[in-house]
Chain A
Amino acid sequence: MGLRAAAHSSSSSIDSSNHPDLDGLLIPKPSGSSSSSSLSHKIKIFNGGTNSRNSRRSSHTRTDLSTDLRLGLSISPYHHSDLSSTTSSPREEALLSWPPIKSILRCTLSGKAENFHHQNSSLFVKVYMEGIPIGRKLNLFAHDGYDALITSLSLMFKTTILCPDNNHVHSEKYHVLTYEDQEGDWMLVGDVPWEIFLTTVKRLKITRADRC
C-alpha cells in the first residue's frame, strides 16, 4: 500500500498503514478526556449511555459528538477540508466511505474491536536512556496511562523521571521522557491524550532534564 501522510488532527480517521506496529488500532479521543480509565469501561459508556437520549438527529449522523471523535470519524465525512493532512488530495482522504460498511455498523463494530483487540495485542517500542547504548523494549499497551508508563520506566532504568505535569526542573540529576513521533520529531511525552500518544509514538528516549 505504501505509507501516506498521517492525518494528525484528532477528528480524522487514521490509516493503519502508517502505524505498522499497531495491531488493534486505537482511535484518538478528543483532548482533555481522561486517559486512565480502561478501554472496556469506555466501551460500556459508548454502548450503554449515549444512544438513548438523543433528540432530533440529522438523518445522517451516528451517535453523539464525543463518540464520533473517539472513533476517529469526522462529523461531516464529505468535508474533506476539515482533515488536516498535509499532502493528500480530497479523494485519498475519503477513508470514511471505504471499505463499504454502513456507518451504523462501523460504529458498533469498532467499539467491539477496541475492546477485543486491546486485550489481545501489544505495542512494543524501543526505549533508550541517554548515555546508555543498549536499549530496552516496553509494551505500551500494558500500561493504561502516562503514570503507569513513567513508573515502569523509572523502575526499568532506575532513575527518577519527571511526570509531565510537574514543573520542569532543569537539572542533570533528573530525567524527562521524550518520544519520536511519526513525522520523525522528538517531542516531550505527556502533552497529548494517552490514546493519541499511542497512535503516534515510534520510540522513547529518556533524556536529562537540563536538555529540555
Chain B
Amino acid sequence: MGDDPSSSSQMSEDDDDRSPPLDPSSSNKARNCSSGSGCDYIIPYPDQVLENVLENVLCFLTARQDRNAASLVCKSWYRAEALTRSGLFIGNCYAVSPRRATARFTRVRAVSIKGKPRFADFNLMPPNWGAHFRPWVSAMAKAYPWLEKVYLKRMSVTDDDLALLAESFPGFKELLLVCCDGFGTSGLAVVASKCRQLKVLDLIESEVLDDDVDWICCFPESLTCLESLIFDCVECHINFEALERLVMRSPLLKKLRLNRHVSIGQLHRLMVRAPQLTHLGTGSFSTLEGNPQGDQELDYVSAFAACKSLVCLSGFREILPDQLPAIYPVCANLTNLNFSYANITAEQLIPVIRHCHKLQIFWVLDSVCDEGLKAVAATCKELRELRVFPVNAREDTEGPVSEVGLQAISEGCRKLQSILYFCQRMTNAAVIAMSKNCPDLVVFRLCIMGRHRPDHATGESMDEGFGAIVMNCKKLTRLAVSGLLTDQAFSYIGQFGKLVRTLSVAFAGDSDMGLKYLLEGCPKLQKLEIRDSPFGDSALRSGLHHYYNMRFLWMSSCLLTREGCQDVAQALPRLVVEVMKSDEEEETGEYVDILYLYRSLEGQRDDIPKFVDIL
C-alpha cells in the first residue's frame, strides 16, 4: 500500500509471473542516475544509437516474463521494450484498459485476451457478466493496423465485433476463439470472406449461434492460405459440398476438426482430398441420416493409411465402435488422441490403444473403466497428459473408474505431467503412489464427484493424499482438490506448494485457518478459485499482502460478509472487489454469494450488469 501505483512495478499489468513489487526507492535510483543527478558521476542521457541497438537486441526476447523484467530496468529500456513487443498478453481484460495498453505498446501484431473467470463455465454466475471484446477491437482497429493474430478466451464477442475485426486488419491471419460466446455464423461469414490472408480459424468450446448463414461458402474462391480450420464445437449444420471444395483449394491445410454433423462417409471424402493433414477431428464418426448403407462400405482403413502425417486425432462424436479399427494405421504415429466424446468400453479401447506407443496426450471418457486405463498404462509410456471425463456427471456411490485406474496410470506412465481425473471414489494410497511415481507432475486435478467424500478404503480424509502431491511433486504449478478435506490439507499446500500458481477448491476445509494457510504460504499463487467452503472475513483479510500479486480471487458460497469484502476494498485501492448475487431475483442473505476480486489499473469498470456490485 505504500507503493506509488504508477511505479514501474505496477505498469506491467499484463505480466503473469510477476515478482513481488519492486522496492520503489531502488527504481527511483535508476532513474536518477540516468537523468544525471544524485550520483557520483554523470551518466549522459542514452543516445539514440544505444536505443536502436537495444531495440534490435530486445527483438529476440519473446517470453513475456523476460520482456516485463527488461522493461523494469530503466526508462530507456522501458521505451525500447514497448516499441519492440509484438505479442500482447492480457490475462484479465479488466486489469488494464484497451486505451492504456495500446498507448504503451504501439507495434503489436498478436493479442491474447482472457475474460470471464473459469467458474463461470459451471453455471455459478448469471450470464452477461461482461468481458466484452468490443472496447478492445475498437481500440485496436485504430492502433494496430498490422494486427495479425487474435486469441480470446472466455470473452463475449458479437458478430459486429467480428465484422469490425475483419474490416480493420488487412493482414489478419489467425483467429482463435476459446470458450467464447455471443457471435454466430454471420460473424464467421464476415471473417471468412474479408480476411483474405486467413491462415487459422479455430473455434474451440465456443457457443456459436445458428443464423442460418452458410459461412463455409464465404471463403475466397481462389486458393486459400488456410492452415487450420477447427469448428468441432459449432452445433450448426454446414454445407458439406462447400467444405469439400474449400478443402480442395486449401493446399496448406494441416489441421481440420469437423463438427458432429459431418458423417463418416463425408469424412472419407475429405480425407481423400487432404492426406497431408496432421490434426484431424473426425466429426460424428457415424452414419447420419442420408446414406447409411453406402457409408458402411467405404474403405476407411486406406483413407487413414494415406494420412501419413497424422499425429492428432479427435472427434468421434457419435462413434460407431465397429468403425474404430479404421484408425489402426495411424495409431503408431499418434501423439494426441481425444476420445472424450466417444462412449466406448474397455474392450473397444484396448485394440486401439495397444498401438499408440507414442501417445503423449490422451483424453477419454470413464466408460473405458479401470480396465481401459490399465491398458493405457501398459502401452503409453510417453504419456504426458491424461484427462478422464465422466459420462455421468453426477454424484454416485460407484463409478466406472476409481483409485485402481489412477494407481495403474501412475505405475505405467512415469513421465506424466498433467492429469485431470473425474471419479466417484479414491484412496489416499493411490494419490500418494502417483505423487511418488510421477515426479514431473505440473498439473494435478482430481475431482472426486461425491462432495466431502473420504478415502474409500480407510474412511479418512483425503488430506494425506493431496499433501503427498505437494510434497513430492516439486514442479507442481496447478492443483485442484476434492473429497473430504480438513484444514490440514491446506496446511500442507501452504507449506509445500511453493510453486503453485493456480488452485481450485470446492467443498473443503473446516475453518478460516484453511484459507489462511494458503494465502500466507503460497508465494506464487496467482489464481485462486474457491466455492462452498467455510472461509470467512478473517481469512480474507489474511491475504491483503498478496492480492496485488494475484490475477484474481474467486470465492462463492463461502462465509464472507459484505463488510468483510468492503474492508478489503478499502485497504487496497488498486483492487476491484466485485460482489455478485448468484440469483438476480433472490434477496441477499447474510453472506455474499460471489466475491470476485482482481487487481486493476483502471478502477471500477463501466459495464457492470445489475447483479454485480463493486465495493
For B343, what are the chain A residues with a Cβ–Cβ distance below 8 Å? 109, 112-113, 115-116
**A187 vs B343: C-alpha distance when bound (angstroms):** 37
What are 14 pairs between A and B in contact, CB < 8 Å?
A13-B394, A51-B210, A53-B210, A54-B209, A55-B209, A78-B582, A91-B557, A94-B557, A95-B394, A95-B395, A97-B531, A109-B393, A112-B391, A116-B367
**A16 vs B582: C-alpha distance when bound (angstroms):** 25
For A97, what are the chain B residues with a Cβ–Cβ distance below 8 Å? 122-124, 531
Known A17-B396, A78-B125; 9 more pairs at CB < 8 Å? A16-B394, A16-B395, A17-B395, A25-B392, A58-B127, A99-B449, A101-B122, A109-B393, A112-B343
In the complex, the chain B residue whose C-beta lies closest to that of A16 is: B396
Cβ 8 A contact of B395, one of A15, A106, A109 = A15
Are B389 and A101 within 8 A (Cβ)? yes
Question: Does A90 reach chain B (CB closer than 8 Å)?
Answer: yes
Are B126 and A78 within 8 A (Cβ)? yes
Question: Does B164 reach chain A (CB closer than 8 Å)?
Answer: no
**A91 vs B181: C-alpha distance when bound (angstroms):** 27
Closest beta carbon of chain B to A149's beta carbon, Å: 25
For B466, what are the chain A residues with a Cβ–Cβ distance below 8 Å? none
Interface residues of A in 77-105 (CB under 8 A from B): 77-81, 90-91, 94-105
Closest beta carbon of chain A to B533's beta carbon, Å: 11
Closest beta carbon of chain B to A86's beta carbon, Å: 18
Closest beta carbon of chain A to B162's beta carbon, Å: 15
**A103 vs B181: C-alpha distance when bound (angstroms):** 13
Interface residues of B in 485-501 (CB under 8 A from A): none
Closest beta carbon of chain B to A205's beta carbon, Å: 28
**A176 vs B449: C-alpha distance when bound (angstroms):** 41
Among A53, A60, A80, A110, max chain B CB count under 10 A is at A60
Question: Does A1 reach chain B (CB closer than 8 Å)?
Answer: yes
Chain B 377-421, CB-CB to A under 8 Å as 1, else 0, gives 000000000000111111111000000000000000000000000
For A102, what are the chain B residues with a Cβ–Cβ distance below 8 Å? 121-122, 205
Question: Does A47 reach chain B (CB closer than 8 Å)?
Answer: yes
Are B397 and A1 within 8 A (Cβ)? yes
Stretch from B57-65, B85-93, B231-239 contacting the other chain: B231-239
**A20 vs B126: C-alpha distance when bound (angstroms):** 33
Question: Does A158 reach chain B (CB closer than 8 Å)?
Answer: no
For B392, what are the chain A residues with a Cβ–Cβ distance below 8 Å? 24-25, 109-110, 113, 117
For B127, what are the chain A residues with a Cβ–Cβ distance below 8 Å? 58-60
In the complex, the chain A residue whose C-beta lies closest to that of B366 is: A109
Are A90 and B207 within 8 A (Cβ)? no
Given A16-B396, A48-B288, A110-B393, A90-B586 contact (CB < 8 Å): yes
Interface residues on A, range: 35 or more
Question: Does A108 reach chain B (CB closer than 8 Å)?
Answer: yes
For B341, what are the chain A residues with a Cβ–Cβ distance below 8 Å? 108-109
Question: Does A41 reach chain B (CB closer than 8 Å)?
Answer: no
Closest beta carbon of chain A to B321's beta carbon, Å: 11
**Contacts from B to A (Cβ < 8 Å):** 119, 121-128, 156, 181-182, 184, 205, 207, 209-212, 233, 235-237, 260-261, 288-289, 317-318, 341, 343, 365, 367, 389-397, 422, 447, 449-453, 504, 506-507, 531-532, 557, 582-583, 585-586
Question: Does A52 reach chain B (CB closer than 8 Å)?
Answer: yes
Are B210 and A113 within 8 A (Cβ)? no
Are B506 and A59 within 8 A (Cβ)? no
For A117, what are the chain B residues with a Cβ–Cβ distance below 8 Å? 392
Given A102-B121, A109-B390, A1-B453 contact (CB < 8 Å): yes
Are B583 and A104 within 8 A (Cβ)? no
For B261, what are the chain A residues with a Cβ–Cβ distance below 8 Å? 52
Question: Does A57 reach chain B (CB closer than 8 Å)?
Answer: yes
**A112 vs B393: C-alpha distance when bound (angstroms):** 12
For B504, what are the chain A residues with a Cβ–Cβ distance below 8 Å? 100
**A170 vs B396: C-alpha distance when bound (angstroms):** 43
In the complex, the chain A residue whose C-beta lies closest to that of B234 is: A51
Interface residues of A in 57-73 (CB under 8 A from B): 57-60, 63
For A63, what are the chain B residues with a Cβ–Cβ distance below 8 Å? 235
Closest beta carbon of chain B to A81's beta carbon, Å: 7
For A96, what are the chain B residues with a Cβ–Cβ distance below 8 Å? 123
Cβ 8 A contact of B207, one of A48, A59, A106, A109 = A59
**A17 vs B572: C-alpha distance when bound (angstroms):** 45
Closest beta carbon of chain A to B210's beta carbon, Å: 5
Closest beta carbon of chain B to A14's beta carbon, Å: 8
Given A52-B210, A79-B583, A112-B343, A99-B390 contact (CB < 8 Å): yes
Given A17-B397, A78-B126, A48-B389 contact (CB < 8 Å): no
Are A100 and B532 within 8 A (Cβ)? no
Interface residues of A in 154-205 (CB under 8 A from B): none
Chain A 1-35, CB-CB to B under 8 Å as 1, else 0, gives 10000000000010111001000110000000000
Cβ 8 A contact of B289, one of A48, A79, A116 = A48
